Each structure stands twice: as structure tokens, then as C-alpha cells.
Amino acid sequence: MKSLILYYSRTGKTRFLAEKLREKLGADLVEIRDLKKRGGLFGFLRGVRDAQFGLKTEVAPSSCDLSKYELIIFGTPVWAYSPTPALNAFLDTCNLTNKKVILFVTSRGVGYRRAIDILKGRVEAKGGRVVGVGSVKTCLKGKKHLSRAGEELAKSWQTAMENCFT
């Protein structure tokens, strides 16, 4: 089964987790980059405001050919209880018709359920079917925690993936 992980990461924590998931699941990996400056406190605060209102931003790549993949995995941090503007923008370009999708978010420990619900609604509106979700608390956590969390997510998703493709 051909799988693709698409993710956005501002600080590198979601990137680290996505890379660990790629290792464990054997998936292809594509980083979604926000073309707006989100560095520093003010850049982050503007991003949080944009996320709260469900706004989008310019991203690269602006789209991706998903036709050769059976499973798409999307990952994003949670900002203001919402997915990031970069992932919102990217999802708008996707044709997820009949695609199986897994969602994962990284957060300080709050707001992840709402963010996953928002993402699930967007995926379903684009024709996809969410077959798995996951969240990882990253506040004051290091790479050892993220590595272990990635292994646990991959293990739980492998079972779900086997069930939905048989």
C-alpha cells in the first residue's frame, strides 16, 4: 500500500514526528511550507489569529498529485484550537475522493480534539474517509518523547491500515 505523509511544522516538532512516522510506516514524505513569515513572537501570533478564523495562506508546494497513493496522512500543529493556515490552504487544493486518510496533530495538550474535528470535516468535504487519528502533546517534551510517540502512533495505525485494506 502506497502512503504519503504531508505535514506542516513551524518549530520542527511536527517535522520530527512526521519523519519518525515515515521511518516506521515506509511512507513518502512532503513538507508543506508556509510562505508567510511566521518566525518570532509576532509571526506566531499572526498565525494563531489566522488559524482561529480558519484563514489560509500561500504554501509550497501548492498542490500534490495524490493519485498514486492509497493512504494520505496529514500532520499539523494546533494553533488556537485549530489546524494551521498552511494545512487549511493545502487541503483546499486536494482531491481526496475515495482516499483513506489519517490525521495527526501536535499540541501543548489542549485544543487537539477540536482541531481534529475541523480537519475531519474538511477531509470528508473533499471526499476522503478518515480511518485514523492521533495527537501528541509536545509542551516541554523532547525528541525522546516524540520518538516514542511516533512509534506508538505508527503501531496503532498499522493495525487500522491492515483492517481497512483487507
Q: Note the pLDDT tens digit of each residue in 88-128.
A: 999 999 999 999 999 999 998 888 999 999 999 999 999 99
Task: Print the domain residue range for 7.
Answer: 3-164
How far is 96 from 121, CA to CA, in rounded Å? Answer: 12
pTM metric for this prediction:
0.92
pLDDT at 142: 83
How many domains are there within the chain?
1
Element (H, E) at 77: strand 71-79
pLDDT tens figures, 26-44: 999 999 999 998 888 998 8
Local structure of 45: helix, strand or coil: helix
The three three-digit cell numbers of residue 1, written as one number: 500500500
Q: Domain holding 56: CATH number? A: 3.40.50.360
The amino acid at 18: A
Q: Quick check: 106 and 135 in contact, CB under 8 A?
A: yes
